[in-house]
Structure 1
């Protein structure tokens, strides 16, 4: 049974909430694709020794990482001093080469796990801070997933020119447009989206999910695209909406843990509406169950009357 998503009296506030859910749906649709491609990246950069932590591999001082205390000790290198490792240095340089801007997010990654965990390589292409404790693609957020696709040059080989031409950081680039949607939704001051903007969001996100090179043939992407259409047209089932509400709230919690800055209004509204929405869905589910019981009893009574 489909349910209406008008959780606000204000239409534009409902649109904003739909946009939040659309970001989560899109992120889920990209997860399988991202995992497969990061495994390829993992094989390309080579195998590390498995013993060096990232502090050992970063020289001191390094801009954005090293900061001296009063005792002239570096905060970043407080536990480990830089040491040369030919094997790991080669992997590190390969990561730098693959980064579009030559500035991997070293603070996010655990280099001692590079040898066996492709995700620790992927984390080098995330935003600079806030993702150190994120242990998988699934745990990452929309901004993280899109950032990897933008920052890692490998994705130029598996996305069509429609997604990466003109190349980032050009605002006309589809991936940049997708990232900008996330920024606008997260950092809103009034938690409102116009009908025209919402339709543009759906169109842009769907265009990415049906990219002909790989995503068009990815089952998760196909499912996500269908869910976007259902969300756009209020055709989601009660169960689907309930799952998406939980995911939206989980995204908020994880984003806060990762240091992601939502606007205060967006944070407050998303937290309130997910909880209110869950209450409404429980009520709707209970009402549906009651109607089913009544119909069942009526059916049983009819059967008993006609069988005697």
Structure 2
């Protein structure tokens, strides 16, 4: 009965609506992100193998991020070693690092730093496994998600919409596949990323209808991005779900259904 009373509160239903919207947003983004991750991985390896005249099937599974020597070298500035790529505490500034025996991982390391959109370059080395870089696209993509909680995620499908949005904002390769200028302050993708924090960090678990509707409208706008996303079938399906959930009567019926099933299971 306590749950039923909660469902009677309009602002609570609006809060739930926004939360459901985040789930649908993730559904619309996941396959797109997986596809771009695969394409990026293919392009990285093709570029490295071509540039260094390596066999087309060469891979590496022996390097560790902590001990890997990047391909780029440090420079001297006022007698101190500094990273020419602008990274703070880069491995290029420390002795004892080990070059990749297959001439791949050091180049991938450089690529990740060079394609980090957030200044200064700050890849999330803690959640990636360099042993998988040459064979697993998502192990590279995770380096661009500068947030905790994604260590065990193996694909876009296992990653929530927050992680996917951060990836798309921080990974410059994705920028050429979306129309939105995510570098611009207060861009749409960053705004929707912030909505997640607003929703799940709400102590009252309440939202005004106008605010919830604004959140939903912007989630739809992300999925309708005019470069490639709007053509994706998963994105189109997610847009329809977001449009449906914005209808309060349908949402209320859904919540009542969930409450009845919850009571049956207790």
Cα distance in 1 for residues equivalent to 2:198 and 2:90: 28
Distance of aligned partners of 1:90 and 1:227 in 2 relative to their CA distance in 1, 3 Å threshold: same
After the TM superposition, which segments of 4 or more aligned residues of structure 1 sit over 6 Å from their partners?
62-66
- Three-state SS of the structure 1 residue aligned to 2:66 is helix
Q: CA deviation at 1:108?
A: 0.8
RMSD: 2.9
Distance of aligned partners of 1:277 and 1:144 in 2 relative to their CA distance in 1, 3 Å threshold: farther
Higher share in helix: 1
- Three-state SS of the structure 2 residue aligned to 1:123 is helix
Cα distance in 2 for residues equivalent to 1:30 and 1:195: 25
* 1:144-203 Cα distance to aligned partner (Å, 9 max, x none): 01100110011211111xx226x24x12x0111111111111211211111111111111
Task: State TM-score, norm by structure 2.
Answer: 0.75
- Paired residue for 1:134? 153
1:150 matched to 2:149: no
Cα distance in 2 for residues equivalent to 1:6 and 1:204: 30
- Three-state SS of the structure 2 residue aligned to 1:130 is coil
1:111 matched to 2:130: yes
Task: State TM-score, norm by structure 1.
Answer: 0.66
Cα distance in 2 for residues equivalent to 1:107 and 1:227: 35
Say whether the 8 Å CA contact 1:25–1:227 is kept in structure 2.
Answer: yes
- Paired residue for 1:209? 223
Q: CA deviation at 1:279?
A: 4.3
- Paired residue for 1:71? none
Query: Larger Rg: 1 or 2?
Result: 1
Cα distance in 2 for residues equivalent to 1:130 and 1:65: 23
Cα distance in 2 for residues equivalent to 1:186 and 1:100: 26
Cα distance in 1 for residues equivalent to 2:12 and 2:141: 35
Of 139, 164, 177, the residue aligned with 1:120 is: 139
- Paired residue for 1:84? 99
Q: CA deviation at 1:25?
A: 0.4
Distance of aligned partners of 1:40 and 1:180 in 2 relative to their CA distance in 1, 3 Å threshold: same
Q: CA deviation at 1:84?
A: 2.3
Structure 1: stretches of 5+ with no match in the other structure: 67-80, 243-275, 285-308
1:51 matched to 2:62: yes
